[in-house]
Structure formats: structure tokens, C-alpha cells
Amino acid sequence: MSLVTIGPLSIDAPQGWTLATVILAGPPDSQSLESTLLWTKPPKPFQRNLVATVEQVDGDETPETYVNRQIEGLRTAGFPRQEVREPQTVTLESGHTGLLTEGYCKRPGD
């Protein structure tokens, strides 16, 4: 893969490089002044992110075991993750099975 194009962004990668991770960061949620009046320190606005990861895995890896391995990595790094919605099995355009998950992570100390 030498040319990666996502919407208006194109990256010409050197030969032998592959696409591994794409992170899209949404705008921080706006907060009204009224929501911060009772706090000594205003809460930090929430920012949604969409992370897409592409990597080679063993043939016996399933979407569920992959997600569980990633969640355990987050826990080990000190970022506990909570499910926002139940994982949903999806069929990709290629015919492969995927797993759509939505979780919530907090920075350590927040």
C-alpha cells in the first residue's frame, strides 16, 4: 500500500508500509455556563473519537477475542473501559464478520 486516501486526505506512504490505525477526533461537546455553576472547577468537555485499527492476526483470532485483548491492554495501561452499548456483530462488505463496539475510557486521575 503506497497511497492511502480517506476523504480529502491522501498520504503517499513508502513501499512496504501499511495502514495500521486511523483515529478521528470529534469536536468537544459544548457546555453551557449553567452546567458549571455548582463546580469549583469546570468539568472537562467530552470528546468522541473513532478509532479504526488494521492488523494481521492469527487464524484462530475472532472479533470477540481481539476486542477482549484490546480491552485488557487498556486496563493494563491504566485506562479502564466501560461498554456504552452491547457489542453488535456485523457483516462487512468483504463478507467477513466484524464486531462493532462502543466503549468509554477515562484518563488516569480523571
The pLDDT tens digits for 70-97 are 889 988 988 888 888 899 999 988 898 8
Mean pLDDT of the chain: 81
For residues 21 and 6, is the Cβ–Cβ distance under 8 A? no
Quick count: other Cβ atoms within 10 Å of Cβ 19?
A: 14
Question: What pLDDT, on a 0 to 100 scale, did the predictor assign at position 49?
Answer: 84
Quick count: other Cβ atoms within 10 Å of Cβ 55?
A: 10
Distance of alpha carbon 97 from alpha carbon 2, whole angstroms:
26
For residues 25 and 45, is the Cβ–Cβ distance under 8 A? no
For residues 41 and 76, is the Cβ–Cβ distance under 8 A? no
Question: What pLDDT, on a 0 to 100 scale, did the predictor assign at position 45?
Answer: 74
The CA distances from residue 70 to 28, 53, 75, 79, 101, in Å, are 25, 11, 9, 11, 12
For residues 24 and 48, is the Cβ–Cβ distance under 8 A? no
pTM of the model: 0.59
